[in-house]
Amino acid sequence: MVIGDEPHRPYDRPPLSKEFLTGPYDEDRLLLRPTADPANLDFTLKLGRKAIELDVEQGRVMLDDGEVITYEGLVIATGAQPRRLPASAGAEGASGLHVLRSLDDARSLREDLHPGKRVLVVGAGFIGAEVAASARQMGCEVTLIDLASAPLDRVLDSASGMAIADLHRSNGVDVRLEVALDHVEVDEGGRVKRSVLSSGDVVAIDTVVVGIGVVPNTGWLSGSGLTVDDGVVADETCLAAPRVVVAGDVAKWPNRSFGGRMMRVEQWDNAIDQGGYAGRRIVAAIKGDALATPVEPYAPIPWFWSDQYDRKIQLAGMPTERAELMQGAVADRQFVKAFLDEDDVVQGVLCWNRPRQAVLGRQLVAAGESVAAARERLG
């Protein structure tokens, strides 16, 4: 049985900030398993129902309509939700204010992206940067702001982050860094009209999109006894309790490929991969032999892509402070860069419009290769 609180058939999120906003994808194109007959699945799909409580001892999940589901094994994959602006920003409930996570969010944002509309994007992470690119492609006037000194500060080295800023500037986006949104002013009709930045600058706007990160959906687990700390904490095998596993954006677990570092990965490929692993893991746990016989830990090399304008940006593994260019030139926006640890072992590979190297890079990171091998294979 699969339970989800959205009313929609399961769909793919990445296009929501890309092809769905700019037009080429309609809603049917977002569906996962579009040809599957919802009435004829080999599992029960309960949509539009929210889990509100978990009792790990009894193996029970309570739903918002009062139904109680008992389980032998539970997979927690409740994902994450966008962080909102603080109340002091004065924009709560205003029309023209958006976040982007769900199909409903994307539908309403799409309505607001028309040529000439002035769009402020708060936060230059992946979602913000992609929305800025899509809004620009729709002919909007776009301002992109971030507190950090470079876009994608959390995931990229600053030189690569600045290349993102340049990419947006050369496409006509007004990129402003080291500046925050102080507050938003709303007109009589309740629509956003002006934004005041921490620098004191005032930007006239029709629409604001807030992309300042996500918070794991763990509220319903308070009182469950599970450890929650920026995600549901699990062991190396994604087990959070004897019959509970976690997967996707909500999961936090030690990744042995990176020295057991606690990780929570907000990426599509990991959600698929970890979901599959969690399914196998929970079957092993139910069968009961799992705790006796060791299970291979879940130790992936994370990988994601982001599409902005005509650039495809991919990162395999993790960035570090030490980067070496393997091919191309950052200024040409077509390059491969390797991230190294102190011992020159490759920890991550960043590719701009070089998809093949992203696959090779992931293999290099997985094999624990050194920079010499990377130069040879990626150069």
Ligand X SMILES: Cc1cc2nc3c(=O)[nH]c(=O)nc-3n(C[C@H](O)[C@H](O)[C@H](O)COP(=O)(O)OP(=O)(O)OC[C@H]3O[C@@H](n4cnc5c(N)ncnc54)[C@H](O)[C@@H]3O)c2cc1C
Q: Which residues of this protein are in contact with other proteins, per CB under 8 A?
A: 12, 14, 34, 268-269, 272, 303, 305, 307, 312, 314, 353, 355-356, 358-359, 362
128 binds ligand X (CB under 6 A): no
The DSSP code sequence of 21-36 is: HHSS--GGGGBSSTTS
248 binds ligand X (CB under 6 A): yes
Q: Which is nearer to ligand X, 101 or 333 (CB)?
A: 101
- Beta carbon of residue 325, minimum distance to other proteins (angstroms, whole number): 17
17 binds ligand X (CB under 6 A): yes
Q: Which is nearer to ligand X, 197 or 339 (CB)?
A: 339
217 binds, among other proteins, ligand X, none (CB under 5 to 8 A by kind): ligand X
H or E element, residue 167: helix 158-170
3-class DSSP assignment, residue 261: strand
Eight-class DSSP state of 166 = H
CB 155 within 8 A of CB 315: yes
17 binds, among ligand X, other proteins, none (CB under 5 to 8 A by kind): ligand X
308 binds, among other proteins, ligand X, none (CB under 5 to 8 A by kind): none
Eight-class DSSP state of 149 = S
309 binds, among other proteins, ligand X, none (CB under 5 to 8 A by kind): none
Q: Quote the CA–CA distance of 218 and 228 in Å, as a whole number.
A: 7
224 binds, among ligand X, other proteins, none (CB under 5 to 8 A by kind): none
182 binds ligand X (CB under 6 A): no
Q: Which is nearer to other proteins, 203 or 326 (CB)?
A: 326
CB-count exposure of residue 87 (10 Å: 0-12, 13-18, 19+): exposed
Pick from 78, 160, 314, 347 the residue near ligand X by CB under 6 A.
Answer: 78
157 binds, among ligand X, other proteins, none (CB under 5 to 8 A by kind): none
304 binds, among other proteins, ligand X, none (CB under 5 to 8 A by kind): ligand X
CA-angle at 50, arms to 46 and 55, nearest 5°: 105
CB-count exposure of residue 114 (10 Å: 0-12, 13-18, 19+): middle
Q: Quote the CA–CA distance of 348 and 321 in Å, as a whole number.
A: 11
Q: Quote the CA–CA distance of 61 and 162 in Å, as a whole number.
A: 46
CB-count exposure of residue 15 (10 Å: 0-12, 13-18, 19+): middle
Pick from 22, 45, 50, 196 the residue near ligand X by CB under 6 A.
Answer: 50
- Beta carbon of residue 275, minimum distance to other proteins (angstroms, whole number): 11
- Beta carbon of residue 118, minimum distance to ligand X (angstroms, whole number): 21
CB 6 within 8 A of CB 46: no
CB 44 within 8 A of CB 88: no
Give residues in contact with ligand X (CB under 6 A). 3-6, 13-14, 16-17, 50-51, 77-80, 100-101, 127, 217, 220, 248-250, 266-269, 271, 304-306
